[in-house]
Every structure is written in C-alpha cells, then in structure tokens.
Amino acid sequence: MKIATRVTESKKRTFSKGDYAVTSLTFDQVSAYRMDTGRLLQWECLFMEPAWMQAWWSHFGAGMTPCILAVRHKKTLIGIAPLMADGTTAFLLGHSDLCDSMDFIVAPQRGLEFFTLIIEYLQNQGFVLLNLKPILNESNVVKDLVEIAPGLGCRVVFKTDEVTYAMALPSLVKLL
C-alpha cells in the first residue's frame, strides 16, 4: 500500500499537537519499551520485534535512515512507527524479501489518533510517500490508517504484490 501525502515546509525532530507528541526513538529505546510489560502496545508481528528490526537494520539498512517514531498522549505511549526513510519516502523498517508482513505497533483502540499524528508528523517533515509493504488485511494499517488517510489529504493506493498462504496449526494439547 502506498499513501501519498502533501508537503509542508517545517522540519523539526519532534512534533506536538495539543496533548500529543511524536518523538524519535533509537533501537535501544524500542527494546526497552518492549521489555516493559506495563505498556499496553500490541506487538503482534514477529518482524516488528526490536531484536529482529535491529538485526535486519545492521545487515540491510545501508543507504536508508532509521525513522522510528513514538506517539504519546500526555505521558502515555500509544504507538510506535518503525519506519526508515529514503529521501521523501518513508517505509516500514524491513523488506518483503525477508519479512512476510510488517505493521505499526499500536495500543488497542488508539489506532485512529496514532495514525493521525504519524501522518501529520511525516507531512510536517516533508515526506511525500509512505510505502507500506508487505501488510496483512488484519494489520493496524488496514484497520485504521486507510480510514483516516483521505481526511488528512492523502491518497491511498492498494496493490496486491503476492499472496501469502496461512494454515491454522493444531494445538499441542490436541496432539498429545
């Protein structure tokens, strides 16, 4: 999926809007958030685990700039956008050659506000394209971002690249 955004002129590393703030994170900070079990983020995608992202980055991230963002409401972390940048295009951190699917890490019921702030931040930073692949139909992107993108002046383009097959496995209890 690609989302085209409009460009504005400001370039700040942090972005605030009312009680919300978007700030940059390091890989170590993402790892610390993952280890903090008191946070309510949904880490549902293996390829968005901090150890995987850092390993992928150290081997394949050359030529890109990490752009890992945290969105907070007051002091509560509501989501992490694991992105990388190449010029005015932002991508989910990883690549479809090694990652079956990727997603944003978002607290339950906070997707709409999270994605609104992420899109506004990216626009504020001069990004014109958010290229999100590969994503699954049940991803946070499809559930929430697609809904709010047009209202933020963004055009959403879906393109099926590949088909991923999935199969439910029997539970271990049933096998014993």
Higher pLDDT, 106 or 5: 106
Q: Which residues are registered as beta bridge partners of 73?
A: 20, 76
What is the CATH T-level fold of the domain 2-175, as seen in this structure? Aminopeptidase (3.40.630)
List the helix and strand counts (H, then E) for the chain. Answer: 6, 9
Distance of alpha carbon 158 from alpha carbon 10, whole angstroms: 29
Each residue's pLDDT tens digit, 107-161: 888 989 998 999 999 988 999 888 877 666 666 677 777 888 888 888 777 666 6
Distance of alpha carbon 122 from alpha carbon 142, whole angstroms: 18
Q: What is the mean pLDDT of residues 77-91?
A: 89
What amino acid is encoded at 88 in this protein? T
Each residue's pLDDT tens digit, 2-51: 455 443 333 446 787 889 999 998 888 888 887 775 567 776 666 667 87
CA distance readout (Å), 124 to 83, 139, 145, 166: 16, 25, 17, 38
Distance of alpha carbon 124 from alpha carbon 65, whole angstroms: 17
pLDDT band at 74 (very low <50, low <70, confident <90, very high): very high
Q: What is the pTM of this model?
A: 0.76
